[in-house]
Structure 1
Amino acid sequence: MNFSTVLLLLLAFVAANLPFLIERIFFTVKPRRGEKAFSWRLLELVILFFVVGGVAVLLEGKLGDIHQQNWEFYAINASLFVVFAYPGFVYRYLWRRRGA
Protein backbone atom coordinates (compact mmCIF):
# COMPACT_ATOMS: atom_id res chain seq x y z
CA MET A 1 0.00 0.00 0.00
CA ASN A 2 1.32 3.39 -0.86
CA PHE A 3 1.29 6.48 1.32
CA SER A 4 -1.87 7.95 -0.25
CA THR A 5 -3.90 4.85 0.57
CA VAL A 6 -2.74 4.73 4.18
CA LEU A 7 -3.35 8.46 4.57
CA LEU A 8 -6.85 8.16 3.15
CA LEU A 9 -7.76 5.22 5.41
CA LEU A 10 -6.49 7.05 8.50
CA LEU A 11 -8.34 10.20 7.48
CA ALA A 12 -11.55 8.22 6.96
CA PHE A 13 -11.22 6.52 10.36
CA VAL A 14 -10.64 9.80 12.19
CA ALA A 15 -13.38 11.64 10.27
CA ALA A 16 -15.91 8.86 10.91
CA ASN A 17 -15.33 9.07 14.67
CA LEU A 18 -15.26 12.86 15.03
CA PRO A 19 -19.07 13.35 15.22
CA PHE A 20 -19.21 11.01 18.21
CA LEU A 21 -16.22 12.47 20.04
CA ILE A 22 -16.86 16.21 19.69
CA GLU A 23 -19.91 17.80 21.33
CA ARG A 24 -20.11 20.90 19.14
CA ILE A 25 -22.39 20.97 16.10
CA PHE A 26 -20.20 21.06 12.99
CA PHE A 27 -17.29 21.50 15.40
CA THR A 28 -18.16 25.17 16.05
CA VAL A 29 -21.63 25.70 17.59
CA LYS A 30 -22.36 24.55 21.13
CA PRO A 31 -25.80 22.85 21.37
CA ARG A 32 -28.49 24.54 23.47
CA ARG A 33 -29.47 21.47 25.46
CA GLY A 34 -25.97 20.51 26.56
CA GLU A 35 -25.55 17.33 24.49
CA LYS A 36 -25.64 17.07 20.72
CA ALA A 37 -28.58 15.07 19.33
CA PHE A 38 -28.02 11.87 17.37
CA SER A 39 -29.52 13.46 14.25
CA TRP A 40 -26.75 16.09 14.25
CA ARG A 41 -24.15 13.35 14.60
CA LEU A 42 -25.66 11.46 11.68
CA LEU A 43 -25.74 14.59 9.50
CA GLU A 44 -22.10 15.32 10.34
CA LEU A 45 -21.21 11.72 9.49
CA VAL A 46 -22.80 12.03 6.04
CA ILE A 47 -21.11 15.36 5.35
CA LEU A 48 -17.73 14.04 6.46
CA PHE A 49 -18.23 11.01 4.19
CA PHE A 50 -18.48 13.38 1.22
CA VAL A 51 -15.51 15.45 2.43
CA VAL A 52 -13.33 12.34 2.65
CA GLY A 53 -14.62 11.30 -0.78
CA GLY A 54 -13.54 14.67 -2.15
CA VAL A 55 -10.08 14.22 -0.65
CA ALA A 56 -9.95 10.76 -2.25
CA VAL A 57 -10.79 12.21 -5.66
CA LEU A 58 -8.08 14.85 -5.24
CA LEU A 59 -5.50 12.22 -4.29
CA GLU A 60 -6.54 10.02 -7.21
CA GLY A 61 -6.25 12.97 -9.56
CA LYS A 62 -2.70 13.62 -8.36
CA LEU A 63 -1.73 10.00 -9.05
CA GLY A 64 -3.29 9.75 -12.52
CA ASP A 65 -6.64 9.54 -14.24
CA ILE A 66 -9.83 9.57 -12.15
CA HIS A 67 -11.78 6.39 -12.82
CA GLN A 68 -15.55 6.39 -13.14
CA GLN A 69 -17.31 4.30 -10.49
CA ASN A 70 -20.73 2.67 -10.31
CA TRP A 71 -23.14 2.77 -7.38
CA GLU A 72 -21.66 -0.41 -5.89
CA PHE A 73 -18.38 1.40 -5.20
CA TYR A 74 -20.13 4.17 -3.28
CA ALA A 75 -22.33 1.72 -1.36
CA ILE A 76 -19.27 -0.22 -0.21
CA ASN A 77 -17.44 2.98 0.75
CA ALA A 78 -20.43 4.24 2.74
CA SER A 79 -20.62 0.89 4.54
CA LEU A 80 -16.91 1.01 5.32
CA PHE A 81 -17.28 4.56 6.66
CA VAL A 82 -20.08 3.43 8.98
CA VAL A 83 -17.93 0.52 10.19
CA PHE A 84 -15.10 2.98 10.86
CA ALA A 85 -17.54 5.07 12.95
CA TYR A 86 -18.41 2.13 15.21
CA PRO A 87 -15.71 2.77 17.88
CA GLY A 88 -16.94 6.36 18.33
CA PHE A 89 -20.55 5.16 18.52
CA VAL A 90 -19.65 2.58 21.17
CA TYR A 91 -17.75 5.18 23.16
CA ARG A 92 -20.62 7.67 23.05
CA TYR A 93 -23.69 5.47 23.49
CA LEU A 94 -22.76 1.96 24.68
CA TRP A 95 -19.77 2.42 26.98
CA ARG A 96 -20.86 2.41 30.63
CA ARG A 97 -19.07 5.11 32.59
CA ARG A 98 -18.63 4.98 36.34
CA GLY A 99 -20.94 7.31 38.17
CA ALA A 100 -23.26 7.77 35.20
Structure 2
Amino acid sequence: MNQTLAVWILIVFSVAAANLPFLSDKVFGVLKTSNPAGKSGFLVCAELLVMYFVAGLLGFAFESALSNPFLLGWEFYAITLCIFLVLGFPGFVYRYLLK
Protein backbone atom coordinates (compact mmCIF):
# COMPACT_ATOMS: atom_id res chain seq x y z
CA MET A 1 0.00 0.00 0.00
CA ASN A 2 1.35 3.41 -0.86
CA GLN A 3 1.06 6.54 1.23
CA THR A 4 -1.59 8.23 -0.92
CA LEU A 5 -3.95 5.29 -0.66
CA ALA A 6 -3.43 5.09 3.11
CA VAL A 7 -4.27 8.78 3.50
CA TRP A 8 -7.47 8.46 1.46
CA ILE A 9 -8.57 5.36 3.35
CA LEU A 10 -7.99 7.19 6.64
CA ILE A 11 -9.94 10.26 5.48
CA VAL A 12 -12.92 8.23 4.27
CA PHE A 13 -12.92 6.12 7.44
CA SER A 14 -12.70 9.23 9.63
CA VAL A 15 -15.65 10.91 7.90
CA ALA A 16 -17.74 7.76 8.24
CA ALA A 17 -16.70 7.20 11.87
CA ALA A 18 -17.41 10.81 12.83
CA ASN A 19 -20.93 10.68 11.37
CA LEU A 20 -21.93 7.17 12.51
CA PRO A 21 -22.94 8.17 16.08
CA PHE A 22 -25.35 10.75 14.69
CA LEU A 23 -26.82 8.76 11.80
CA SER A 24 -27.68 5.55 13.69
CA ASP A 25 -29.85 5.01 16.76
CA LYS A 26 -27.84 1.88 17.53
CA VAL A 27 -24.60 1.98 19.52
CA PHE A 28 -21.70 1.62 17.05
CA GLY A 29 -24.33 0.81 14.43
CA VAL A 30 -24.84 -2.67 15.94
CA LEU A 31 -26.20 -2.70 19.52
CA LYS A 32 -29.76 -1.58 20.15
CA THR A 33 -30.31 0.75 23.12
CA SER A 34 -32.88 0.12 25.83
CA ASN A 35 -34.16 3.68 25.56
CA PRO A 36 -37.10 3.85 23.11
CA ALA A 37 -36.31 7.51 22.34
CA GLY A 38 -32.88 6.59 20.96
CA LYS A 39 -29.39 7.31 22.18
CA SER A 40 -28.78 9.93 24.83
CA GLY A 41 -26.41 12.82 24.24
CA PHE A 42 -23.89 11.32 26.62
CA LEU A 43 -23.89 8.04 24.70
CA VAL A 44 -23.41 9.88 21.40
CA CYS A 45 -20.42 11.78 22.84
CA ALA A 46 -18.91 8.60 24.27
CA GLU A 47 -19.36 6.80 20.96
CA LEU A 48 -17.81 9.74 19.11
CA LEU A 49 -14.79 9.66 21.43
CA VAL A 50 -14.32 5.90 20.93
CA MET A 51 -14.52 6.36 17.16
CA TYR A 52 -11.88 9.09 17.40
CA PHE A 53 -9.52 6.65 19.12
CA VAL A 54 -10.26 3.93 16.55
CA ALA A 55 -9.48 6.36 13.71
CA GLY A 56 -6.29 7.38 15.53
CA LEU A 57 -5.24 3.76 15.90
CA LEU A 58 -5.84 3.19 12.20
CA GLY A 59 -3.73 6.23 11.37
CA PHE A 60 -0.98 5.05 13.69
CA ALA A 61 -1.08 1.60 12.06
CA PHE A 62 -0.70 3.17 8.62
CA GLU A 63 2.16 5.36 9.84
CA SER A 64 3.93 2.41 11.42
CA ALA A 65 3.57 0.31 8.28
CA LEU A 66 4.81 3.02 5.92
CA SER A 67 7.54 4.72 7.96
CA ASN A 68 8.86 5.28 11.45
CA PRO A 69 6.16 6.67 13.76
CA PHE A 70 6.83 10.12 15.18
CA LEU A 71 6.50 11.11 18.82
CA LEU A 72 3.49 13.46 19.09
CA GLY A 73 2.53 15.87 21.84
CA TRP A 74 -0.83 16.86 23.27
CA GLU A 75 -1.21 19.64 20.70
CA PHE A 76 -1.50 17.10 17.88
CA TYR A 77 -4.25 15.20 19.66
CA ALA A 78 -6.16 18.39 20.52
CA ILE A 79 -6.10 19.51 16.90
CA THR A 80 -7.06 16.11 15.48
CA LEU A 81 -9.96 15.86 17.94
CA CYS A 82 -11.23 19.24 16.76
CA ILE A 83 -10.91 18.16 13.13
CA PHE A 84 -12.74 14.91 13.92
CA LEU A 85 -15.59 16.90 15.49
CA VAL A 86 -15.80 19.12 12.41
CA LEU A 87 -15.99 16.01 10.21
CA GLY A 88 -19.01 14.89 12.25
CA PHE A 89 -20.88 18.17 11.76
CA PRO A 90 -23.04 16.96 8.82
CA GLY A 91 -24.33 14.07 10.94
CA PHE A 92 -25.05 16.46 13.84
CA VAL A 93 -27.00 18.76 11.55
CA TYR A 94 -28.99 15.85 10.14
CA ARG A 95 -29.84 14.37 13.55
CA TYR A 96 -30.56 17.46 15.65
CA LEU A 97 -31.18 20.44 13.38
CA LEU A 98 -33.11 19.03 10.40
CA LYS A 99 -35.54 16.85 12.36
Deviations 1:41-71 (A, max 9, x none): 1000000000000000100011010001111
Q: 1:93 aligns with which of 87, 92, 96?
A: 96
What TM-score do the two structures reach when normalised by structure 2? 0.91
What is the SS of the residue equivalent to 2:28? coil
Q: 1:2 aligns with which of 1, 4, 11?
A: 4
1:56 maps to what in 2?
Answer: 59
2:43 maps to what in 1?
Answer: 40
C-alpha distance in structure 2 between counterparts of 1:64 and 1:44, whole Å: 30
Question: What residue identity is the alignment partner of 1:72?
Answer: E
Q: 2:79 aligns with which of 56, 76, 79?
A: 76
Work out the percentage of aligned pairs sharing the same amino acid: 35
What TM-score do the two structures reach when normalised by structure 1? 0.90
Aligned length: 96
C-alpha distance in structure 1 between counterparts of 2:31 and 2:11, whole Å: 28
Q: CA RMSD in A?
A: 1.3
After the TM superposition, which of the residue ranges 71-80 and 27-36 deviates more from structure 2?
27-36
Gaps of 5+ in 2: none
